Amino acid sequence: MTNGYAQLAADVLSRAKACGATEADIVVADGETFSVQVRVGTVDRLTKAREKRLGLRVFIGKRSATTSTSDFSQDSLERLVADTCTLARAVVEDDVSGLPDAAQMATDQPSLDLYDETVLDTETQIDWAKRGEAAAFATDPRITNSEGAEFDSSSGRVVLANSHGFVGSYKSSNFSLSVSPIATESTTGAMQRDAWYEVQRKFARLASAESIGQEAAGRAVRRLGARKVATKRVPVVFDQETAGSLLANLCGAISGYGLYKRASFLLDKLGQTIASDLMTVYDDGRMAGGFGSRPFDGEGLATRKNTIVERGVLQSYLLDTYSGRKLGLPSTGNASRSVGESPSVGPTNFYLVPGSKSAQEIIGSVKEGLYVTELIGFGINMVTGDYSKGASGFWIENGELAYPVEEITIAGNLKQMFKDIEVIGSDLVFRGRIASPTLKISELMVAGN
């Protein structure tokens, strides 16, 4: 089928050239998705879909347009090419518009361990969701209800080709289970919810449904009896998930599109210290089995391992060809592409290099402070770095988790927060494209009562 799509792409590119395109590229994607949600032991929702789409981008001089279709018939593709060329002629010229240079195209296409041949039947996937939820209920009698357990699987292939003669393809798959139980305090009737999940490229690497359900239940139960706290400045420890959210803010601040629009607090900071010297960050598009790994980016350039921050110094932005040209810099191989959309910038596997301390050791170093396990809301100004988000977690007293807390706000500025990172944990685990170990910031404003 990949060879068939490659020939299809070549035919469409030939038609685009005949229509007047000076350059063009095409993305063909097909895939299958399955999702089942179980709630209190009953299948609540089940969806299964197979989709294929073709996206075409044409350049006529310095003008461009992008369109897509799910109809691969000859008549449909002829209309697609004609319509795309008509749209391109109607838009204004852009001096930096155009494909990357032909010499920049990827020349190797490693498999990167992204695809699993395993095919799961419907009953197996339903069973995984049921077992995960049942394990949560069985873990503790205070688990009285559930928002559900969801098992998802997907697999597909991508073919990218352009008028430089580049043709690339890869296949990928994902399997995931999430469980969201509700715990109730028997004396007060107060309820708390939490969740846990795992995702893997290979089904055999997925943790057991029972362990995921048990972890979700434990996280919900430990939130019972949550309190508010007095407003004060204290050290703050972010767990893996919430530390990953902080790292996502860094990722957004170094994205080429925000930078050339002068809408980032890290504008013009290349080569400058922007963080603690404990902080080293990589973006690695060639990581085996990585959730953002692929042999080439959305424009056909080879992915690679980019050093983003080295011992606190900003070494690289994340760029595609367009944003790089706007900034006078080369692409970093970070073009992200959806079928029917022009490329944008996105991370591959963006992570904070782990340190040597366990999460428990980091918590143990805090006399009084906050351990954050959930962040809520969108209170971030990417231009100034101002940061204010709702949070919940646990209050730390004398190096121990003393009691759960909720309805609090953490406030600071990302420019200072990254510089105030005091400890980085050893517990780096990837559950997505952006990952971080536990980390501790020396002091932040925690607003409560």
Give the residue from 221, 250, 282 where a domain finishes.
221
Is 424 within the bounds of a domain? Answer: yes
Is 109 within the bounds of a domain? Answer: no
Residues, the chain? 449
237 and 215 in one domain?
no
Is 108 within the bounds of a domain? Answer: no
Give me the domain span that covers residue 76.
Answer: 2-32+45-102
Q: Is the dihedral of CA 15, 21, 25, 26 positive or negative?
A: negative
Is 190 within the bounds of a domain? Answer: yes
CB neighbours of residue 187 within 10 Å: 7
Is 74 within the bounds of a domain? Answer: yes
b/e 223-261 (16+ beta carbons within 10 angstroms → b): bbebeebeeeebbbbbbbbbbbbbbbbbbbbbbbbbbbe
Give the residue from 221, 250, 284 where a domain finishes.
221
Site of tokens 């000859």:
74
Give the residue from 177, 193, 221 where a domain finishes.
221
274 and 128 in one domain?
no
94 and 14 in one domain?
yes
Question: pLDDT tens digits, the chain, 449 residues: what are they?
Answer: 467 899 999 999 999 999 999 999 999 999 999 999 999 999 999 999 999 999 999 999 999 999 999 999 999 999 999 999 999 999 999 999 999 999 999 999 999 999 999 999 999 999 999 999 999 999 999 999 999 999 999 999 999 999 999 999 999 999 999 999 999 998 899 999 999 999 999 999 999 999 999 999 999 999 999 999 999 999 999 999 999 999 999 999 999 999 999 999 999 999 999 999 999 999 999 999 999 999 999 999 999 999 999 999 999 999 999 999 999 999 999 999 999 899 999 999 999 999 999 999 999 999 999 999 999 988 899 999 999 999 999 999 999 999 999 999 999 999 999 999 999 999 999 999 999 999 999 999 999 87
Is 266 within the bounds of a domain? Answer: yes
Identify whether the C-beta of residue 383 lies closer than 8 Å to the C-beta of residue 414.
no
Interatomic CA distance for residues 8 and 1, integer angstroms? 10
Structure-block tokens of residue 27: 């993305």
196 and 162 in one domain?
yes
CATH code of the domain in which 216 resides: 3.30.2290.10
179 and 236 in one domain?
no
434 and 295 in one domain?
yes
215 and 280 in one domain?
no
pLDDT value at residue 378: 85
Is 113 within the bounds of a domain? Answer: no
pLDDT value at residue 1: 47
150 and 255 in one domain?
no
pLDDT value at residue 2: 63
Q: Please give the angle made by the CA atoms of 398, 399 and 400, to the nearest 5 degrees.
A: 95
Which residue, among 334, 299, 316, has the nearest Cα to 101 in the 3D structure? Answer: 299
pLDDT value at residue 449: 78
First to last CA, the chain: 61
334 and 390 in one domain?
yes
Structural domain tally of the chain? 3
Interatomic CA distance for residues 378 and 438, integer angstroms? 21
208 and 90 in one domain?
no
Identify whether the C-beta of residue 369 lies closer than 8 Å to the C-beta of residue 399.
no
Residue type, 396: I
155 and 184 in one domain?
yes
Is 205 within the bounds of a domain? Answer: yes
364 and 273 in one domain?
yes
